[in-house]
Structure 1
Amino acid sequence: MPASAQTAAATATAQSGPGETRAFNIPAQSLASAISAFGRQSGLQVTLSLATAGSIQTKAVIGSFSPAEALARMLDGTGIAYRLSANGTAALIGAQQPADGTMVEDSVVLDQVLVTGNMGRNALTGAGYQGTPDWVYQEPASVSVVSRDAIRNASARNARDLLANTAGVLVSGDSNQNQGLNVNIRGLQDQNRVVTMIDGARQNFQRAGHGSSGLTYVDPALIRSIEVEKSSTSGAGGAGALAGSVNFRTIEADDLIRDGEQSGAETDLTIGTNEYHFSGSGSAAVRLSDSFALVGGISRKKLGEYEIGKNGSVGGDWEGLGMDKPIFTGSGTTSGLLKAQMQPTDDTTLDLSWLHYRSTFSQGTTDTTTSGSLREDTEDVTNNTFVAAFGWDPDSELIDLKARLWLNRVENDEFRPKRTDGVDDANVNYGMKTFGGSIENTSRFALPFGDLSLNYGMEAFRDLGKTTVTGAAIAADPNQALWYSGSNPSGRRDMISGFANATLDHDDWLTLSGGLRYDYYRLSGTSTVFSEPVQVYNPPSNCLRYYSDGIRCRVWGNPAYYSYEYPTEDVHVAVSDSKLLPTATIAVKPFDSVQIFGKYTEGFRPPTIMEALIGGSHVGSYGPANAPNPDLGAETANTYELGVNFSQDNVFQAGDSVRTKVVGFYREVDDYIALGTVDLGAVQYASYVNLDGTTRMRGIELEGNYDAGRYYLGGSFTYTDADYASQYTYNGTSYNTGQYVIFGVPKYRFTADAGVRFLEETLTIGARVTHVDAQKQEIGTMQTLLSAYATDSYTTLDIYGSYAINENTKLRFAVNNVTDVAYLPALGAASYPAPGRTATLSLNIRF
């Protein structure tokens, strides 16, 4: 019978390459048991497929070895030969004659035995914090991963919750009515500073409003993992990235189909309290042949208007609203995934996928000046992501090619009902279409002094932003459309990038890496700007006496009737720039379990369409408000990192594991772009500007975990400090006053997560404590967007657990904010405190 050597606990054991040393403690025992122990301790996901193992006994393996060495020692004398490839796949090929020409006594001929490793970045889970795969703790960079297990255990109200405990990462909570998420990495967010992707396809949507603008729409139910890079890279996906990237990876066939099966499916159902009405998803995969598989999934979630915590006070604007819960925080979300995974030839792969997302919700508030009347705008957001990924990896060290084409389209349809006599109904469509592709190849060389790999390629993408407005009032007065399209302008942005990176590994203890990236962008479009109003007398019938020409009025009626006209001016903007960006990394391993690394990167972020082409005015007002900046330049950043990876098994007892990553960083940002106030003649406008001088950011990030099987303890810690430049220049004039749009982050934040496992590790009960430091507004010339963004410190407690009823059915529960604390989340708005105590119950079934 097939015997799996991957236990539930070992599923969390991450993956090491065949040449990397690990600690092994495998006693002499039967072949099946030894393969099971080898799988747990090597990190290779092992499947033993044979008719019978007979009475074959393996030898003991105790000490530090590479997986290849450990496997050789374990099988020594059994007569079983094996092959272990560079990508971590081993094949055990049955009984063979030993060197002395005799057969091992009691040996039997086995069917082919495959020992496969879910290696590298394709790993679903591992022994790290919240199931982080082991490759993260072997990567000489500040990288974090939210695993599939962590996504399931989060019982997320929305996608923002998934990144809440990741070191160095925050998600803005100022738009709790909106289901989009806005990621902040190390104090930088908005305007594509953080590149967000789905399976490598960028989602560059921006929408201006009273808060953060960069929004990403994705459903957690169809995501297998989230990868976070916290600095720039010389590789695919790094073009135009200043603060790093977040890549949401969707589920694959191997996530659903067990080894030896041809199909698989699972369903996940969740209900909860505090307006967590329902969340359900179903996904399935089938292998129609050895080279073709189909994956499909669908998800539905329904949320209501949650209540905030009862303990404590959030203060600020919330108390003035006189309500017991935030309004318009309900939503309905539906998502679907269709993916085809193919292997046209033995050395090529082709994946085609379509991810559809739709969310309906409302935005608005109460108007306290009109007896608390509601101002509700209905929203309908759709996001479609299409990806085609091709791989070619022939039997050559010179070719490991990956190519990707993708299209992402976000449409936000908004209906704004009449509010006042001057602001009638309007239908607005905010759209962003981004398409692009990348191609890269990796060539590997064995040199006398080490192994050299060269990664090189190109990527390019285009943003097409378009805002359209319709309505009876707008048809009568087209200038009213500028209330919506002015700050969300239409335009085009192109970017192309070439990159190359060389990595040298010497004797498993030294890694040297250096790369270059060349980024070029061009942005163009037309902005419409309101000029200074002109006083116009009318109507002509109010003229009591004309001059002899019969045209000029000599005496006007008393009083004179006059009005104002608001002239508009079209300003065409076309900007372009380029930058050569180096990166360098050095990593050393003084011990097998410790890696120390230093990294230097340069980043380059061009302005977005919104920043370069802003115009129009605020809803309901005519006259000057916003103006573009034709001289707006790109942001650049230099980032220095020093970090330590620690990864070791069998530390305090057999079978335990420790995984830790600590990174300190220092970043300098030049020409930081912020929204400031500028004077053009006698008129003042809001315009995006480059801050003079250097904005400096520094911090420390830690993620770690200890897992002893029966219990575990992990957590994360983040310290971030920022010193922003204090003035800016526009059209040759310097300004050191005004309101900048900058989102500050709390200096300190930590999470401690611990749990125990019972009943042969089928029952898990855990608790998580999170503390976030206060974020206060800086007074004077440096202000963030609104005073509402000042938040007090807070501490929350969550409990969670799961019980594996059998190998196919698991029950999960969670209680978030157990102590029912009333608080404003970091980067949140005073009108939208966090949800109070919320309990959820989930059932996961695999077929």
Structure 2
Amino acid sequence: MAFGARHSRALFFGASAFSFALVSSSAAFTQALEAEAVTSPAAQKKQKQAKRQAKPQQETQAPAMNARAQIGGTAVQSLDTITVAASKTEERAIDALAPVSVVTLEQIQGRQPNRLSDIFYNVPGVSFQERGDDPSTVINIRGLQDFGRVAVVVDGARQNYQRTGHNANGSFFLDPELVGGVDVVRGPTANIYGSGAIGGVVSFRTKDINDVVRPGERWGVDMTGSYGTNNNRGLGSIFGGVRADPNVDVFGGAVYRTQGNYKDGNGTEIGNTGNEIAAGLMKLTVRPADGHEIKFGAIFQDYQYSIGQLNRGPTTTTALRALNQGSSVYASDAKNYTGTVTWKYTKPGDNLWDWNMSLYGNRTDNDQTKTYHYSTSAPASCSGAAGNNISGCVGDKRGYVLDTLGIDVNNTTRFNVGDWRNAVTLGFDAFQDDVKTSDGRGNSNITTPSGLRTVSGGFAQLKQNYSTWFEAVSAIRYDRYDLDSPTVATGGGGDRFSPKITIGVTLVAGFTPYVSYAEGYRAPSITETLISGAHATGGGPAFFPCPDGTTGLFCFLPNPNLRPEVGKNKEAGLNLKYDGIFAANDSFRGKFNVFRNDVEGYIDLVASAPIPVPPFGSFSQYYQYQNIAHARIEGFEAETMYDAGLWYVGVAGHLIRGKNVATNIGLATITPRKITTTGGVRLLDRRLILAAQWSSFGANNDVPAGYLPSTGYELVNVYLTWNATRDIVFSASIDNLLNQYYRPYAIPGSSTDGTTQNDVLWSSPGPGRVYKAGLKIHFGGA
């Protein structure tokens, strides 16, 4: 796919942005040093006060959450960040009676992430199933992933893309340079956020004008350039905004990122791990009346990469060579489009209306062309080209398109009854997924069937606070779904009411225990319900006849009577919040919780009993998604941070186990242990920040037969951020300092059981040691 040419252009772009930032910063750097040399601290303070008095409107519109505004100031605990993810009402994460975590823009920028997973090391309960040759992201919360078990939203728009193979069944595309902050809610506690989230919710906020334009400025621009080793990692980005008048904001940005094939901790180059990413966003905010804000947003991303690995497994017999004609590589062009319109109304003194409405559309369009196939001979069906009828032949094209349209509306009414403060939130949400798969010669039309799914729901929530020591949150949610397919008869749909109740008490200031019970409801996906037909043979013999009259290696059976999954989560938690413990300006924040999530009707792909197929062995004739009786996931999570101002240290992590209760076999998607220790110091009047992060991951060995377990591993990362001036920030980091080899998740099949299709049955090792350096400069004016 002419990757070499694009790679060269990308490196040139990244280097040019980096060089331009260096050259441009020299003048700003000199001017800033001169200004600081001749201006006393008292004079600086008077100048700032004068600017604030001259621009009161801009000061009101640009909150102090701007990361650069915090340079040299008092550190802000991330758990003190305002979030609405748990209850649709504003509250600090540390005060939420739910397992809520927040990743701030300041944290993201300090870590120079190459992938989204790089920013979640210190978020308990969260892990990732990522392939090195696929830049999409698969988020796992408490061992649950795939088919919408974790609701992922970007600026309120759900990301429901799914392509079935031997890889994860659910992924999304989002470059971390676009992200302005993340809220994470673990478990079905946030079922008011939308249907299906029995694992949890991850809500991404992309960058906006307040992240760039500072208090007192009318316009601002941030330019970033960075470079990394292992292998030629380049990044260039620019974001800028202007407050056209007090009621109109315009903001936009662009990102370009590239990398070559990286080497793992053993020094082995992992093929096709290079990629090229171009992205951009635009936002227009208008305030037509007092208290009203309407925001129009658009995001575009284009990912160019090759997915697939060379065949590295044994082909020990003629039969295996015929059945497993090895590895395929696909040149992939994945485009993601997101459009949003949000309308918010909130006004001090108006307790009747606190309104939020969001309309969104999202399309993921992944076009793939087969470029390589390992084969000892070319089947006649390919007219001389290498390939087979599973994955197609070299030159064949296939495509996956998922369109999602949705709406989310809610309003909060507040009133007092004596010492009781009450907030009633009513809401409605709905989305529709339209899946279209095209594959002229391969098997993708079977494994990812086209179809239409409509999911809707509504909720009512009552949040009550008595005096300063008691809080109760009770809610009921109604969900409904409908499935439709042009080829397979479906059972129509289903519906359910799901309750939630949470009670917390604060008998001692800063010490808040709580208990919670919440249920969640996940409708079956199109693939789980409608998948039907023969799995292609790959050029070998057809083992079994299928009910539709075709023959293949085995048969997929649809399940129109598939029931939804119901998560029933029991939780006990403790929030700790203390200031001025050992010094006037120090602080401690901590969230601890234990949980048990019983998932009734857990959906899994189930094989029929193997039957003999001489002379090849014994094989299953049928595969069907079915409701297994019961899956149980339980564990302990903690997130802590002590900040003394000049230094800080925190520990976060989880211990989790998950079982199929009927068989007592572990779930392959569990990350049983993650413990991350983060520490840092702030030097030179807090302009220089040195930080280190040590993450310890436990291996998942309790997996079904035939799975290749994940590895246990230790990751050590170090970070440096130097705020040379108010407008110039240098950053550097070393990822995987110990150069560890690791495979972060278990995969089905391995070379020990004869499976050789490593292009799909493959868990890529993570990259070895990576050195990165970057520069960010800011321009702005009143």
Secondary structure of the corresponding residue to residue 556 of structure 2: coil
Partner AA of 1:687 in structure 2: Q
Secondary structure of the corresponding residue to residue 490 of structure 2: strand
Q: Tell me whether 1:842 sits opposite 2:778 in the alignment.
A: no
Cα offsets for 1:190-213 (capped at 9, x unmatched): 110001110110011111112212
Residue in 2 that maps onto 1:392: 345
Could you tell me how far apart the structure 1 residues matched to 2:731 and 2:119 are?
Answer: 16
Match of 2:526 among 605, 609, 612: 609
In structure 2, do the counterparts of structure 1 residues 801 and 639 end up closer, same or farther at CA, with 3 Å as the change threshold?
same
In structure 2, do the counterparts of structure 1 residues 122 and 574 end up closer, same or farther at CA, with 3 Å as the change threshold?
farther
Cα offsets for 1:525-574 (capped at 9, x unmatched): 145xxxxxxxxxxxxxxxxxxxxxxxxxxxxxxxxxxxxxxxxxxx4224
How far did 1:48 drift? Answer: 7.6
1:325-404 equivalences in 2 (<5 Å): 325-368=269-312, 369=315, 375-394=328-347, 395-404=349-358
Could you tell me how far apart the structure 1 residues matched to 2:307 and 2:370 are?
Answer: 10
Residue in 2 that maps onto 1:535: none
In structure 2, do the counterparts of structure 1 residues 374 and 605 end up closer, same or farther at CA, with 3 Å as the change threshold?
closer
Partner AA of 1:463 in structure 2: D
TM-score, structure 2 as length reference: 0.80
Q: Tell me whether 1:407 sits opposite 2:361 in the alignment.
A: yes
How far did 1:112 drift? Answer: 10
Residue in 1 that maps onto 2:469: 509
Residue in 1 that maps onto 2:624: 687
How far did 1:695 drift? Answer: 1.4
Residue in 2 that maps onto 1:634: 564
Could you tell me how far apart the structure 1 residues matched to 2:239 and 2:436 are?
Answer: 34
Secondary structure of the corresponding residue to residue 506 of structure 2: strand
Match of 1:155 among 112, 119, 122: 112
In structure 2, do the counterparts of structure 1 residues 257 and 628 end up closer, same or farther at CA, with 3 Å as the change threshold?
same
Secondary structure of the corresponding residue to residue 262 of structure 2: coil
Match of 1:140 among 97, 111, 121: 97
How far did 1:459 drift? Answer: 0.8
In structure 2, do the counterparts of structure 1 residues 270 and 130 end up closer, same or farther at CA, with 3 Å as the change threshold?
farther
Match of 1:217 among 146, 152, 173: 173
How far did 1:117 drift? Answer: 9.5
Partner AA of 1:228 in structure 2: V
Secondary structure of the corresponding residue to residue 215 of structure 1: coil
Could you tell me how far apart the structure 1 residues matched to 2:49 and 2:199 are?
Answer: 46
Residue in 1 that maps onto 2:604: 674
How far did 1:251 drift? Answer: 1.0
Partner AA of 1:456 in structure 2: L
Match of 1:797 among 716, 726, 733: 716
In structure 2, do the counterparts of structure 1 residues 121 and 635 end up closer, same or farther at CA, with 3 Å as the change threshold?
farther
Residue in 1 that maps onto 2:14: none
Match of 1:280 among 216, 222, 236: 236
**Are 2:405 and 2:431, in contact at CA under 8 Å, matched by a contact in 1?**
yes
How far did 1:508 drift? Answer: 1.7
How far did 1:709 drift? Answer: 1.3
Q: Structure 2 unaligned runs (5+)?
A: 1-40, 83-90, 316-320, 382-387, 539-550, 613-619, 748-760
Residue in 2 that maps onto 1:599: 516
Residue in 1 that maps onto 2:578: 648
Residue in 1 that maps onto 2:77: 128
In structure 2, do the counterparts of structure 1 residues 437 and 689 end up closer, same or farther at CA, with 3 Å as the change threshold?
same
How far did 1:697 drift? Answer: 1.1
**Structure number with bigger Rg:** 1
How far did 1:418 drift? Answer: 6.7
In structure 2, do the counterparts of structure 1 residues 843 and 391 end up closer, same or farther at CA, with 3 Å as the change threshold?
same
Cα offsets for 1:422-475 (capped at 9, x unmatched): 4234211111111110211110002113111100021111010110123xxxxx
Partner AA of 2:773 in structure 1: L
Could you tell me how far apart the structure 2 residues matched to 1:469 and 1:833 are?
Answer: 30
Could you tell me how far apart the structure 2 residues matched to 1:710 and 1:277 are?
Answer: 32
Q: Tell me whether 1:451 sits opposite 2:430 in the alignment.
A: no
Cα offsets for 1:100-154 (capped at 9, x unmatched): xxxxxxxxxx999978995999999973369966911111110111111221122
In structure 2, do the counterparts of structure 1 residues 721 and 119 end up closer, same or farther at CA, with 3 Å as the change threshold?
farther
Match of 2:685 among 760, 763, 766: 760
How far did 1:834 drift? Answer: 1.1
**Are 2:328 and 2:372, in contact at CA under 8 Å, matched by a contact in 1?**
no
In structure 2, do the counterparts of structure 1 residues 237 and 124 end up closer, same or farther at CA, with 3 Å as the change threshold?
farther
How far did 1:648 drift? Answer: 1.8
Could you tell me how far apart the structure 1 residues matched to 2:69 and 2:473 are?
Answer: 27
Match of 1:485 among 439, 445, 468: 445
Range 823-832 or range 119-128, more displaced: 119-128
**Are 1:605 and 1:636, in contact at CA under 8 Å, matched by a contact in 2?**
yes
**Are 1:770 and 1:795, in contact at CA under 8 Å, matched by a contact in 2?**
yes
1:171-186 equivalences in 2 (<5 Å): 171-173=128-130, 175-186=131-142
**Are 2:646 and 2:686, in contact at CA under 8 Å, matched by a contact in 1?**
yes
Could you tell me how far apart the structure 1 residues matched to 2:331 and 2:585 are?
Answer: 54
Cα offsets for 1:368-416 (capped at 9, x unmatched): 4599996321111111010000012355211111111000100111112
**Are 2:481 and 2:493, in contact at CA under 8 Å, matched by a contact in 1?**
yes
Partner AA of 1:184 in structure 2: N
Secondary structure of the corresponding residue to residue 94 of structure 2: helix
In structure 2, do the counterparts of structure 1 residues 680 and 613 end up closer, same or farther at CA, with 3 Å as the change threshold?
farther
Cα offsets for 1:61-90 (capped at 9, x unmatched): xxxxxxxxxxxxxxxxxxxxxxxxxxxxxx
Secondary structure of the corresponding residue to residue 612 of structure 1: helix
Secondary structure of the corresponding residue to residue 611 of structure 1: helix
How far did 1:617 drift? Answer: 3.8
Could you tell me how far apart the structure 2 residues matched to 1:464 and 1:52 are?
Answer: 50
Match of 1:710 among 635, 640, 646: 646
Could you tell me how far apart the structure 1 residues matched to 2:591 and 2:461 are?
Answer: 24
TM-score, structure 1 as length reference: 0.74
Could you tell me how far apart the structure 1 residues matched to 2:159 and 2:460 are?
Answer: 24
Quote the RMSD (CA, aligned, Å). 3.1
Could you tell me how far apart the structure 2 residues matched to 1:120 and 1:269 are?
Answer: 23
**Are 2:80 and 2:93, in contact at CA under 8 Å, matched by a contact in 1?**
no
Residue in 2 that maps onto 1:297: 253
**Are 2:67 and 2:105, in contact at CA under 8 Å, matched by a contact in 1?**
no
Partner AA of 1:812 in structure 2: S
Cα offsets for 1:138-196 (capped at 9, x unmatched): 111101111112211222222232223310100113x2211111111011111100011
Could you tell me how far apart the structure 2 residues matched to 1:599 and 1:440 are?
Answer: 23
In structure 2, do the counterparts of structure 1 residues 412 and 117 end up closer, same or farther at CA, with 3 Å as the change threshold?
closer
Could you tell me how far apart the structure 2 residues matched to 1:699 and 1:636 are?
Answer: 19
Residue in 1 that maps onto 2:24: none
In structure 2, do the counterparts of structure 1 residues 116 and 406 end up closer, same or farther at CA, with 3 Å as the change threshold?
closer
1:427-438 equivalences in 2 (<5 Å): 427-438=397-408
Secondary structure of the corresponding residue to residue 595 of structure 2: strand
Could you tell me how far apart the structure 1 residues matched to 2:733 and 2:67 are?
Answer: 28
Cα offsets for 1:194-246 (capped at 9, x unmatched): 01110110011111112212111001111101111112246653222111111
Residue in 2 that maps onto 1:467: 437
Residue in 2 that maps onto 1:307: 263
Could you tell me how far apart the structure 2 residues matched to 1:633 and 1:512 are?
Answer: 32
Secondary structure of the corresponding residue to residue 529 of structure 2: helix
**Are 1:326 and 1:831, in contact at CA under 8 Å, matched by a contact in 2?**
no
Residue in 2 that maps onto 1:787: 707
Could you tell me how far apart the structure 1 residues matched to 2:465 and 2:65 are?
Answer: 17
Match of 2:635 among 699, 720, 738: 699
Cα offsets for 1:281-307 (capped at 9, x unmatched): 110000111000011010010011101
Could you tell me how far apart the structure 1 residues matched to 2:52 and 2:477 are?
Answer: 55
**Are 2:351 and 2:413, in contact at CA under 8 Å, matched by a contact in 1?**
yes
**Are 1:612 and 1:688, in contact at CA under 8 Å, matched by a contact in 2?**
yes
How many corresponding residue pairs?
666
Task: Pick 1 or 2: higher relative contact order, CA cutoff 8 A, min separation 6.
Answer: 2
Cα offsets for 1:809-833 (capped at 9, x unmatched): 1101100111111122245776511
Residue in 2 that maps onto 1:579: 496
Partner AA of 2:658 in structure 1: A
